[in-house]
Every structure is written in C-alpha cells, then in structure tokens.
Amino acid sequence: MLDLAIIGGGPAGLTAGLYATRGGLKNVVMYEMGLPGGQITQSSEIENYPGFEKVLTGMELMEPWPKQCMRFGLKHELAEVKNVSKMDENFQVTLANGDKVLAKNIIVCTGSTPKRAGIKGEDEFYGKGVSNCATCDGFFYKDKEVSVLGGGDTALEEALYLANICKKVYLIHRRDSFRASPHTVKRVMENDKIELVLNSTVKEIYGDESGVNGSIVVDKDGNERDIKAPGFFIFVGMNVNNGVLKQEDGSFLCKVNEWGEVIVDLKMRTDVEGLFAAGDIRIEAPKQVVCAAGDGAVAALSVIERENH
C-alpha cells in the first residue's frame, strides 16, 4: 500500500514528490513513463522562472529537478498508468502492463498535450514537416523557411527560437493581435526574419513523399496565398491528459468541467476524498512552470494534512 501515488513527472509531479517525502510520507511513488520533466522540456526558451537570470531551454531548467526531488526518498516508477479507480477507502492504480497498486492518496499531474489544428494534410504530414516542437525539429530547417501557426506565448516564443536557425519565419495568426505577453510581442515585431501573416487561416498543408512543400493561407477577404516552406509548426493550445481518471462506464472519477479539466479547490482537492490534481490538468491552470510547481507543493501539503488527521 502506497501512502501516495503521483501520476505524472512534470514540474507539478516532481514538486509534489519533493514536498511529500520531505514532509514525512515514507512510501511515495511517482509514475512517469518517460524521463521526468514534462512538456516544458520541449520549450526553446524560459526567461520568467524566478531565480534564473540567464535564459534557459526547458531541458536546461528541468535537468536538476529529479535529483533534488528524489533526495528524500521519492521513487520513480518508469510505467504508464492506464486508470485510477476507487477501492473502498483507498485507490487502485492500474498500470499498462496489467499490474495493480493500492494507494491511500493520489495526486494526478498528467498535464496537457498540444492540440491539433484540424487542417487538411496535418495528420498526413505530422512528423514529416508538421511539428509541435521547435526545439525538437527546428534544426532540420536550418537556413530554410518555416511557418508557425498560433498567437499565444508559445507560438511567439517558438517563432523567435526558429528565427535564430531558419532563413525566414512566417507567423500565421487568425486575428490581428496576439495573446502573448507584451515583451514577447515586441521582440517578434522587431525581428526582421519574422513575417506576420495576420487575420489569416491555413486552408491546407500539402507536400509529397519527402514531406511538406508548402501551405495555402486564406486571409480574411478570401484571397489565397501559397507559402512555400518545408516546416510547419503548430501551437494552437493544449488538451488536458485526463484519461487516467476515466472509468469503465465513461464517467470521470471526479468532477471535471466542460473542457475535461479537473475541478479542485485552493488546496488542490477534488470532490473525491484523497484524490488531488495539480498543474495543467486542473481548472484555471495558468500553464506556467512556476504555477505547476506551486500546485504540486500545495497538493502534497494537503496530502500530509489529511494523513495527520
């Protein structure tokens, strides 16, 4: 029987493990099927994490976290969790290999994954010119032209990253203004290698066996523009990874909102006693590393409070 099972090894899960073990919980396991670090490891630059004056990549920021967070006894189980269900007063964690583990408390920190844009050709060319990760795939387009779709912080930050590698970056957005921070917008506007394609949507991504050759952009007046670029990067938001909470009858173990985000209170408690959620999976998550880490700490402290009562 585990005192606490943490599902997910991003900033929220790692911090939850650190606070839970340092706070006295003895049998704590963090389930993460890959290397700990989470979605942020794919980010090209982090300049707003407190305590770091130098701009870091997501990988650089997260690299020391696992060692610190496991110093007090947190165990990392390299396994995929398929489902979490209630078993009397405790919870049952079902792993992909069929193993079942009982736990007194659960903190779900499964985060989110990039949304698909639903453009014709997107699925066909995914991994062959279409990408959601500039850090992973930007190098393949060194001194070439690429397109970026999106208008938030991630889209603009990745456009700036690509501008350091690529010959030119077309930044395509359906509106005439951005949702990103003013500082990031200013940097984009001042970058000569970034061309803004505003009030525009992408009708199709096309190519051949070698990959993407270009995209047909439709502006607000219906005029088509064919952008010839071998790389197409999509940053149009995130979907929460709530699959582990789905039950056999299709319902969720706890209450979620219309977007599938887990409803929690200020202590990261769900409506199910002993079940907590932290990070991007929860309602109104700011989707920032520092906030996810804070959520993880709060959730762990709430578990300790529950165990001490």
Active site members? 133, 136-137
In the predicted structure, residue 287 carries a pLDDT above the cut 90: no
Residue 4: name the closest of 307, 308, 244, 309 by CA. Answer: 307
Which own/partner contact pairs does 91-94 have at CB distance under 8 Å and 24+ positions apart? 91/5, 91/274, 91/275, 93/2, 93/5, 93/7, 93/31
pLDDT tens for 205-233 read 999 999 999 999 998 788 999 999 999 99
In the predicted structure, residue 109 carries a pLDDT above the cut 90: yes
The pLDDT of residue 45 is 81
Give the mean pLDDT of the chain. 95
What domains appear along the chain, each with residue ranges and CATH number? 2-114+238-307 (3.50.50.60), 130-234 (3.50.50.60)
CB 236, CB 122: distance < 8 Å: no
Residue predicted with more confidence, 287 or 129: 129
Rounded to whole angstroms, the Cα distance separating 24 from 131 reads: 43
CB 194, CB 163: distance < 8 Å: yes
The pLDDT of residue 150 is 97
**Full-model pTM:** 0.86
Rounded to whole angstroms, the Cα distance separating 181 from 188 reads: 11
Residue 47 binned pLDDT confidence (cut-offs 50, 70, 90): confident
CB 125, CB 215: distance < 8 Å: no
The pLDDT of residue 42 is 84
pLDDT tens for 239-276 read 999 999 999 999 999 999 999 999 999 999 999 999 99
User: What is the mean pLDDT of the segment spanning 165-173?
Assistant: 97
Rounded to whole angstroms, the Cα distance separating 110 from 91 reads: 17
- Percent of the chain whose pLDDT exceeds 70: 100
In the predicted structure, residue 44 carries a pLDDT above the cut 90: no
Phi-psi map region of 210: left, alpha, beta (phi>0 left; psi -120 to 50 alpha): alpha
In the predicted structure, residue 10 carries a pLDDT above the cut 80: yes
Residue 111 CA neighbour count, 13 Å, CB half:
24
Residue 101 binned pLDDT confidence (cut-offs 50, 70, 90): very high
Residues 6+ apart with CB under 8 A from 19: 296, 297, 300, 301, 304
